[in-house]
Amino acid sequence: MVRLLVGVLVALLLASGALAQQVKLRVFIGGQQRPDVMRKILDVYEQRNPGVKVEIEVGGATSDQQQQYLTTVLTSRDPSLDIILIDIIRPAQYKAAGWSEPLDRYLPLGARDALLRQYLPAYVRANIVDGTLIALPAFADAQFLFYRKDLLDKYGFKAPTTWDEAIRQAQTILQGERNPNLNGIGFMGNISEGTVCSFLLPIWAAGGDVTDERGRLVLTEDMARRSLQFWLDLMDRHRVSPPNMAEKAQDTIRREMQQGRWIFGTLFAYAWAHFQNDPDSQVKGKIGVAVMPRFEGGRSASCLGGWQWTISNFSRNKAQAYRLLRYLSSPEVAKVLALEASNLPAFPELYRDPDVLRANPWFADALPVVLNARARPVHPRYPEIADVMRRGLNAVLARTKTPEQAAREIVQGLRTIYGQ
């Protein structure tokens, strides 16, 4: 009897020891970030690290929807998430709210600089907030002009380099095709994060910006008005965009372009993999990718995107989470994401990698675009800044406000946030 009891006790101890060795980590990503590809990447990690199990939690289809959920989890100091994939606009907010475990704890200054030198500089800048390393890059992103190569060829056009050219080409093709389901230039206009990029593109292309290098607000009402007017003109004056652009989100345009409903679309890089690989894609092999057009006499401007891995400050497995985070932000994983999800790498050398170029021929010309892409304002109150801009453009596109009215409100709203 005693022997039996001892036996049971020993067995229990052994079992609990085995349980203690089993580490469970939970990674949060959004629905847009290809959970299927991410699962494959994590399966490899589990194979190499017996005893570590990694679960994926998927939530929210857009950057803002993901953040809504994460805000609830993080403000309640919930320890259920260990690693979180965050948008490039978030690190300042995460630092201010105390949601991220600073990575400097694991990286002595020399090692940190050596590591960061491998990444594209824009992502190093985005992830260091007031000297603290908040996150490491998962993949880069920028806006490109996706176009219907077949249609442009048919009318003898080359990919446009200026907006005027793009408008003329769209008008000619629309007139020639007489297809009621075909639209000209697609851009984001609904109330979502992508619309912030729409608002900023013409401002950047004209040489302006929201703040100067010292973070002081320099956006004028006139610059804002011209941007709003430009998008409104695409619908009402040039008639290359349908009148309901106020309803269009990025993924709506991507899906419609996939059905052959757009000639041009200003989209982020992820769209490519869908156009080429999705079973329902009607534009396989018919899509070209170009640098965003510039204005006559101006410069080309693209909106910097990209996603970062950060460790939740409330994780109970920070050391293990850090090991996984280093794997997820490695060139190896970046290459898988480039091959399978057409995610632009945050490592410059991968833009010359033959495998990557075979899957994404246009990556060969993408590096300068990412290098020159402009970052949205860096500010702990970024969500408010974004809300002011996207609602302003959305109201103009819905014709409930004139560009003058909306420009005044945007600049006033920004002044309140920047305290100027």
200: Cβ–Cβ under 8 A, 6 or more apart, which residues? 210, 227, 303, 374, 376, 389
Q: Is 138 in the site for other proteins (CB under 8 A)?
A: no
Q: Is 416 in the site for other proteins (CB under 8 A)?
A: no
- According to DSSP, residue 162 is labeled B
Q: Is 161 in the site for other proteins (CB under 8 A)?
A: no
Q: Is 381 in the site for other proteins (CB under 8 A)?
A: yes
Q: Is 215 in the site for other proteins (CB under 8 A)?
A: no
Minimum CB separation from other proteins for residue 377, in Å?
Answer: 13
Contact 261, 182 (CB under 8 A): yes
Q: Is 398 in the site for other proteins (CB under 8 A)?
A: yes
- According to DSSP, residue 343 is labeled P
**Element containing residue 72 per DSSP (H, E):** helix 63-75
Q: What share of the chain is helix, strand, coil (3-state, %, to 5)?
A: 55, 15, 30
326: left (phi over 0), alpha (psi -120 to 50) or beta: alpha
Q: Which is nearer to other proteins, 260 or 348 (CB)?
A: 260
Minimum CB separation from other proteins for residue 184, in Å?
Answer: 15
Q: Is 101 in the site for other proteins (CB under 8 A)?
A: no
**Element containing residue 136 per DSSP (H, E):** strand 136-148
Sole window of 23-31, 240-248, 283-291, 339-347 interacting with other proteins (rule: CB under 8 A)? 240-248
The token pair that represents 343 in the structure block: 């995610």
Sole window of 5-13, 132-140, 236-244, 360-368 interacting with other proteins (rule: CB under 8 A)? 236-244
Sole window of 22-30, 34-42, 207-215, 239-247 interacting with other proteins (rule: CB under 8 A)? 239-247
Q: Is 89 in the site for other proteins (CB under 8 A)?
A: no
Minimum CB separation from other proteins for residue 101, in Å?
Answer: 15
CA dihedral of 14, 17, 19, 21, whole degrees rounded to 10? -140
The contact set with other proteins (CB under 8 A) reads 64, 67-68, 71-72, 75, 93, 96-98, 190-192, 242-244, 246-247, 379-381, 383-384, 387, 391-392, 394-395, 397-398, 400-401, 406
